[in-house]
Each structure stands twice: as structure tokens, then as C-alpha cells.
Amino acid sequence: MFNPIQYISQGDTPQEQLYHIESVLDAGQRWIQFRFKDTLTSIRWKTAEQVKLLCDSYHATLLINDDPDLALAIDADGVHLGLQDRSIAEARALLPHKIIGGTANTLADVKQRLDESCDYIGLGPLRYTLTKKKLSPLLGFEGYQQLLTALTPEEKQIPIVAIGGITLTDVPVLQKIGLSGIAVSSLLHQAQSPQQLIQQLNTYFL
């Protein structure tokens, strides 16, 4: 089930990953994308197993970033794939009844993701962010507006989620432009009251 507020995990160690994920779950976040790049495969897989247990205990949706095999192994709810990752078709064959999201940066990317029948599209980045090392060209609000204007009403039926350096003041603007939701990371970590923030964010996309 689609959630308009998506959390992308961060942390350089399993302990940091698990701490952040449990913190946002405890605050009411119910969509977790597990992203743990710069580590050994064995460590990432073991950490993912623990994340799966956490998400199950909170009845939260768990997606795995960039790794359909791992999503299959731990019975996650789905996978999110970047443009340079395995194809949506491969992931769909491996995970036929799971959620599959795909990254996009340009109108051509969005059209590609639509043709591939993604369940949702992560479109961005809005602005510069330290969370991701290899950053695509920034879109800004004008870029989002241009891209969404170029889509037909039918094409807009697939949820498009904004990502990349999003702040609280950006959310009403993105919602007005026509985005279906947002993907955040640091925004939740830096909040004085993550629970209150999550509740506030959800009101924009009811």
C-alpha cells in the first residue's frame, strides 16, 4: 500500500541504521526504504534481517534499496531501483506481487518508468543533499512543475514522490505542484519532535 511519506534510512554502521529506523518507527513512520550502500554485503543482509523484524513489529512497509535479491530473501514488501540498477522487468519477475518503485530525474526517465509499470516514481532531487553521494541534476520547483505539466492525467495516476533535500516549508509547495508524496531522511532525524512532524507531513497528502 502506497504511503505519501517515505523514509530513506541512513547510517554508516548497522547500529546507526537500526537506531534511526527504530526512532522513526517509534514516531509513527510506516514506510521505510532500507538504504545501506557502503558496507559488506554480509553486513547489509544481516542488518536488513533486523530491520525486517523491526518493521514487522510496527506493521510498517519495508522496501529495499537497489537489491531485489535481498528483498526476496527477507520477504520485504518491495524494492526501489535506481536508473543504473537492475531493470524493473527483472525485479518484477523476481518479486511479482511486491511494490516496485523507480528513480527518475528527467521527463524521459519518468516516461520510461511509466512504460515499465512502476508502482511509484521517486523524482528528484529537489536540491542538493548530503544523503546521496552520486547526485543527479537538481530539479528545483520549476523542474517539477515542467515535468508534471508534460504528463497526461492518465500518466499522473502513478504516484510521483519528490526527493532530495526537502524541508518542511517545501512540502505545501510540492503538494500544490501535484506531487503525490515526499521521501525524506535527515528531515526526520533533525526534528525536535519527529512524531509531531510525521503527523504534520501526512496532513498535506490526505
Annotated binding site: 33-37, 65-66, 85, 103, 129-132, 165
Residue 36 is placed in which grid cell?
Answer: 545501506
Orientation angle between helical segments 194-203 and 14-26, nearest 10 degrees: 60
Q: 64 and 48 in contact (C-beta within 8 Å)?
A: yes
Eight-state DSSP code of residue 165: S
Cell numbers 557502503: residue: 38
Per the DSSP assignment, residues forming a β-bridge with 181 are 161
Closest CA to 166 of 148, 185, 147, 179: 185
Binding residues for Mg(2+): 66, 85
